[in-house]
Amino acid sequence: MPKRKIYLLSPKELSQEVIAVTFAKTSRSPLTFREIADELSDESSAEFHEKWVVGYGHASVAEHAVLHIAIEDISRLAIECIESNRLASYTEKSTRYQKWDAGAFVTPPELDGHPLRDEYQKTVEMLFQTYADSLVPTRALIMESNPRRENESDDAWDRRIRSKYVDACRFLLPAASFANVGMTANARVLESAIRKMLSHPLEEIRQIGEEIKSAAQGEVPTLLKYADPVPYLVETGKKLSSDSQPISEQAGDQNFYCKLIDHDPAAETKILAAVLYRFGEMSFAQALETIEKKSDSERARLAEELLGGLSRYDVPLRELEYSHYTFDLVMDQGAYFEFKRHRMMTQTPQALTVNLGYVTPSLITEAGFGSRYAAAMDGVIGLYFKIAAFNPDLAAYLVPNGFNRRVLATFNLREAYHFCQLRAAKNAHFSIRSVARKIYSEIATLHPLLATYMSLPEDETWQDHFTTF
């Protein structure tokens, strides 16, 4: 009887391409993984990938090659493109815990030699200066409600309260702001990400795509060999953007911010039936019929058995995925940067513009900085339209985090549990908490039997942290 063995194939000893081939060959080889790896070289691995991954389309082999890519001093607009790839992992510089330095922004190469370049730079510099100035009164206000603890140093005090005031000031930072992002992805995902970047309308993002490809090819030269621009991506965006014209909408309507546009009315029945199916021996049709015949109290008991034992960090059973909700959402860009991290959803964001107005955090107003804040945000709008007339994609660099953006999102109840509980928590940013609470309210109204087991704080409403919308 063979003895069980579990071990690592270390990238310190083997190249990523050799590791990928080692795992690929186990499907037809009786050898152990170590024996397969010992027979391989970088050259023979390249030949394998050329034949089977590239030639025959066995792209899943490339998923065994994993790279960790450090990307520094790129715009947050570029980070958005990078992080739109679902099957990768990212960690980026936080606008909640770090302060941005003056001058830390991208001037897009498309503006080189253009008469609007100087005005662009002056406007972004104005935003950064307003941001820096806003930190002083908001910090002072937070200090009043969070006094220094005994024997606490100035630095320790500031670290403890920093997110409370930086959270509000971050609304002034434009999409041009520099940031860093760490990306972990397998070669298959990375190839797709590079292709998307090389097909992007913005030059900065195309350049980043080329640089990532160049850096990564040192590890996986064959697997990224054909990561090239995709004409379909380039042309489709151009064609469809001309067919879609903006339609104004009034922000006074509550549905302006969170509108449920589609759902499955039978979701609760299907989820409970799927649970019976999983733990029983009946067909799904029989499970549905069984649930439909049960009384309200019996259905409630099943829901309790399914979800009542969840602790704060437990993940519900996958049967909650037999449901769907589609929301048309409007949120500020800062909130969207956190919303987009939930990549199990299907998300369709519209372009970042100034057309939907901006929000004003209550702390900014309470600190006596409301007029400066409004002047800075309003000061962006005129230049935005000047640049948009030249290049609408380019104008997005100018837009601060406080401006609203529309996003279409579809997700199931299992993902709703994850999103709402995580993003409505007290340590989440108040703007994403607003989104999470509103989504929860809509789902709880539709399906109270299952949504009632979500654990959300109850001491605030979704609008508590904003003065204007």
pLDDT category, 254, cuts 50, 70, 90?
very low
Contacts of 221 (CB under 8 A, 6+ apart): 17, 46
Closest alpha carbon to 182 in 82, 107, 64: 82
| CB neighbour list of residue 291: distance below 8 Å, 6 or more residues apart | 269, 272, 273, 276, 299, 302
Is residue 294 over pLDDT 50?
yes
Q: What share of the chain is helix, strand, coil (3-state, %, to 5)?
A: 50, 15, 35
Higher pLDDT, 245 or 456: 456
Q: Does residue 52 register a pLDDT over 80?
A: no
The phi and psi torsions of 107 (rounded to 5 degrees) equal -100, 110
Average the pLDDT over 288-313 and give the result: 94
Report the C-alpha gap between 369 and 145 in whole angstroms: 18
Task: Check pLDDT > 50 for residue 5.
Answer: yes
The answer to whether residues 410 and 326 touch, using CB atoms and an 8 Å cutoff, is yes
Residue 440 and residue 428: Cα distance in Å, rounded?
15
pLDDT grade for 250, boundaries at 50, 70 and 90:
very low
56: pLDDT strictly greater than 60: no
HSE-up of 194 (CA within 13 Å, CB side)? Answer: 23
- Per-residue pLDDT reduced to its tens digit, 395-424: 999 999 999 999 999 999 999 999 999 999
Q: Is the pLDDT of residue 238 over 80?
A: no
Six-digit token string for 383 = 């230049």
> What is the per-residue pLDDT across 98-154, written as a single tens digit (0 to 9) for each?
888 888 999 999 999 999 999 999 999 999 999 999 999 999 999 999 999 989 898
Q: Could you report the per-residue pLDDT of 62-109, keeping only the tens digit for each?
A: 888 999 999 999 999 999 999 999 889 999 888 777 888 888 999 999
Q: Which residues contact 97 (CB under 8 A, 6 or more apart)?
A: 162, 163, 166
Distance CA(221)–CA(213), nearest Å, equals: 9
Choose among 351, 352, 369: nearest CA to 360.
369
Is the pLDDT at 58 greater than 70? The verdict is no
Rounded-to-integer distance, Cα 400 and Cα 332, Å: 9
Cα–Cα distance for residue pair 195/123, rounded to 1 Å:
33
Instruction: Quote the percentage of the chain above a pLDDT of 90.
Output: 65
User: 284 near 382, Cβ under 8 Å?
Assistant: no
Q: Bigger pLDDT: 23 or 238?
A: 23
Residue 251 is predicted with a pLDDT of 47
